[in-house]
């Protein structure tokens, strides 16, 4: 997939969203309108903060992570692609924030409130609401709240039911217009004028474009490598299953298997190309051998072949 031109980015793009909403003057009014609260000040704000507990744990990278004067934590995420299991992602993000909130020796009552907010360009739940907010209560006694201090909101820029105040709805419409490549009239909203100005200002900065291109190229390489590794694993599995089937079944099916091997020759050639690419990217010969299901010595010959 080609990298999107920096000048074409809108607030619906992850990079631009993070750069714009990391600024207190932009994120503070948004949170106040969404949560119907007043925030005196933003004490800590961090874009794309990594929360890793151990080297082998599944890491969390937060788009916009901040804390107010009461040490309430807020994580605001742009979700351009509609992914499955968004609820479990919210849960995992929440747990990562909580582990970083409570200091050693502190009591659980010191755990501060936290909000995980996903701004989605599409309707994840399919009910048309502009804002979906998690609500916790006791089963068979809905009047009894389960107050653990965690909050989750999933916003839908493709809403048909405006269950939020005007400021939030205008913000979501602005997101949707950017996602669809349409202009949006911001003249009626001082806040959206401010957002628009911030975006225009960022696009004038060469260092921002360099930062964006660096991140985008790294992400593209990671995706490409993931696709190649998946292909290698699939080819290796298919090869092993084909050989096992040939041994178990009779001569007739063995001949059929042989014909299949001939048809798979093209796949093997592709496999060998991938071996050389993976070796050039620094993969060890042992790793490549495991991935493609070929003997280590054969992989060594292919990788070093001119």
Q: Residue 256 above 90 pLDDT? A: no
Q: Flag whether 236 is in a domain.
A: yes
CA 259 to chain centre: 43
Q: What pLDDT score was predicted for residue 58?
A: 44
**Domain match, 72 and 133 both:** yes
How many structural domains compose the chain?
2
Joined together, the tokens standing for residue 292 give 């493609």
The β-bridge relationship of strands 73-79 and 114-120 is parallel
How far apart CA 101 and CA 59 sit, in angstroms, is 17
Check whether residue 187 and residue 116 sit in a common domain.
yes
Looking at the predicted structure, is the pLDDT value of residue 272 above 60?
yes
Assess whether 66 and 170 both reside in one domain: yes
Q: Give pLDDT, residue 54.
A: 41
The answer to pTM > 0.75 is no
Task: Give 177-196 pLDDT, tens digit per residue.
Answer: 999 999 999 999 999 999 99
**pLDDT over 70, % of the chain:** 70
Give me the pLDDT at residue 132, please.
97
Domain boundary (204, 233, 258) is at 204
| Per-residue pLDDT at 19 exceeds 50 | yes
Domain ends where: 175, 204, 233?
204
DSSP H or E stretch at residue 298: helix 296-304
Domain check: are 199 and 280 in the same one? no
Separation in Å, CA 177 to CA 84, 180, 190: 24, 5, 18
- Taking 90 as the threshold, does the pLDDT of residue 173 lie above it? yes
Residues of the domain holding 242: 217-304
């Amino acid at each position: 997939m080609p990298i999107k031109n920096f000048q074409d980015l809108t607030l619906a793009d992850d990079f631009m969203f993070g750069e714009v909403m990391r600024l207190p003057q932009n994120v503070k009014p948004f949170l106040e309108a969404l949560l119907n609260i007043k925030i005196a000040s933003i004490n800590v704000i961090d874009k794309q903060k990594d929360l890793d507990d151990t080297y082998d744990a599944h890491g969390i990278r937060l788009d916009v992570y901040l804390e107010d004067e009461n040490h309430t934590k807020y994580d605001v995420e742009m979700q351009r692609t509609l992914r499955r299991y968004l609820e479990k992602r919210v849960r995992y993000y929440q747990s990562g924030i909580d582990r970083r909130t409570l200091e050693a020796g502190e009591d659980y009552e010191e755990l501060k409130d936290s909000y995980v907010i996903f701004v989605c360009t599409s309707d994840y739940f399919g009910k048309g609401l502009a804002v979906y907010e998690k609500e916790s209560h006791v089963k068979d006694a809905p009047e009894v709240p389960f107050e653990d201090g965690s909050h989750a909101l999933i916003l839908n820029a493709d809403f048909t039911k405006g269950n939020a105040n005007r400021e939030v709805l205008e913000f979501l419409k602005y997101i949707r217009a950017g996602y669809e490549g349409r202009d949006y009239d911001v003249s009626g909203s001082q806040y959206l004028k401010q957002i628009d100005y911030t975006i225009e200002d960022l696009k004038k900065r060469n260092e921002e474009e360099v930062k964006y291109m660096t991140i985008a190229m790294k992400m593209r390489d990671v995706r490409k490598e993931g696709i190649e590794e998946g292909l290698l694993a699939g080819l290796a599995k298919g090869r092993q299953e084909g050989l096992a089937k040939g041994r178990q079944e009779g001569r007739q099916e063995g001949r059929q298997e042989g014909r299949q091997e001939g048809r798979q020759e093209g796949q093997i050639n592709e496999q060998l190309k991938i071996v050389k690419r993976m070796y050039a990217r620094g993969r060890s010969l042992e790793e490549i051998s495991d991935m493609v299901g070929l003997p280590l010595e054969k992989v060594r010959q292919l990788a070093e072949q001119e």
